Amino acid sequence: MENPKIAELINRAPWREAVTFRNSWPHEYVLSGQDNQRELFELVCARLRAGEGVDGWFFSMGNTYLFLGGHKYWVMTHWDAIDLDDGQDYVLNRAPLYRDRRDFVIQHGDTGKAEDYPDEPAVSAESGGLQPTDSNI
């Protein structure tokens, strides 16, 4: 069962559409300072520090994702580098879960739409881990 406090904060957060990847990978975001989301950022970062995150890839960029409810969440700055007292505005993103390899590896040609699902596997057999194959970088 999810922590009710983090679920409440997520539901109250003023999520906005991220237009940068609107056509390639739609997602939403909130800002730590501008959106007054300090407590949400503290809880997300605490869970990432506790090892609840899962390593994944956005094209060739690695990141750590936190899976909560029907979404995956990630920060644009590594959670250990986030200092909510330094005056910076940090970004917390979220995207809906697809419950397939797109939840862990987003590769070129994959838009999140079923008809655009890439033909090549996202994970190389040799690596045994979540890494984009050479043809996907």
The answer to whether residue 136 is domain-embedded is no
The answer to whether residue 64 is domain-embedded is yes
**What pLDDT, in 10s, does the model give residues 52-80?**
999 888 777 888 999 998 899 999 888 88
4 in the Ramachandran plot: left (φ > 0), alpha (ψ -120 to 50) or beta? alpha
The answer to whether residue 73 is domain-embedded is yes
The answer to whether residue 137 is domain-embedded is no
Residues 6+ apart with CB under 8 A from 101: 121, 122, 123
Per-residue tokens: 48: 């990432």
- The number of angstroms, rounded, from the C-alpha of 133 to the middle of its chain's C-alpha atoms is 20
Residue 117 lies in domain: 4-130
The answer to whether residue 103 is domain-embedded is yes
**What pLDDT, in 10s, does the model give residues 74-99?**
998 888 888 988 989 999 999 988 77
pLDDT at 33: 93
Total structural domains within the chain = 1
